[in-house]
Amino acid sequence: MKTPLPKIDDIEKKWYVVDASNKVLGRLASQIAIRLRGKHRPDYTPHLDTGDFIIVINAEKVRLTGRKLDQKMYYRHSGYLGGLKSMTAKQMLEKKPEEVIRQAVKRMLPKNKLARHQLKKLKIYRGSEHPHQAQMPEPLEIPA
């Protein structure tokens, strides 16, 4: 007997809305990464994209525990000599709170082409409004 594999066209992808206000960043990101990969589904297949679409609202209200606001650093490089730029988590939350959640989820996904495709299904918004009402997203409750 062979193991049944889901066809790409038969995989039904749902849309979920997650409210990030007062949620811990790491716990939120791990649950989002599981949903993006599709590991919550019984027909999960590692080499297929079986995950759902996730919309995160209120990204600026996410929490970090301990002293991470002052001690956690985000780095990027311009590609030129001496072009290393750094920001603390507090500065990053003020300027680009969407990027804090995106980086956390991205680092929990595998490092391959499929993960880059799955990350495109993550939509993050600073406020409580989002332009995806036509997809009729369901609210997804992630414990704080």
pLDDT, averaged per 10 consecutive residues of the chain (144 residues), comes to 87 96 97 97 93 97 96 97 97 97 98 97 97 97 86
* Helix 25-37 / helix 97-106 crossing angle, nearest 10 deg: 60
The CA-based angle 25-52-99, given to 5 degrees, is 35
DSSP states of 46-106:
TTS----EEEEE-GGG-B--TTHHHH-EEEEE-SSTT-EEEEEHHHHHHH-HHHHHHHHHH
Query: Scanning the structure block, which residue is given the tokens 């959640």?
Result: 101
Tokens standing for residue 126: 């600073």
Cβ neighbors of 99 (< 8 A, separation 6 or more) are 74, 92
Tokens standing for residue 73: 């650093």
Q: Which fold has domain 8-66+93-139?
A: Ribosomal Protein L13p; Chain: A; (3.90.1180)
The CA-based angle 65-116-94, given to 5 degrees, is 35
* Whole-number pLDDT of residue 57: 97
Domain boundaries, the chain: 8-66+93-139
Query: How many helices and strands in the chain, by DSSP H and E?
Result: 5, 6
What's the pTM value of the predicted model, to 2 decimals?
Answer: 0.93
Taking CA atoms, 135 is separated from 13, 14, 17, 122, 131, in Å, by 11, 9, 11, 14, 9
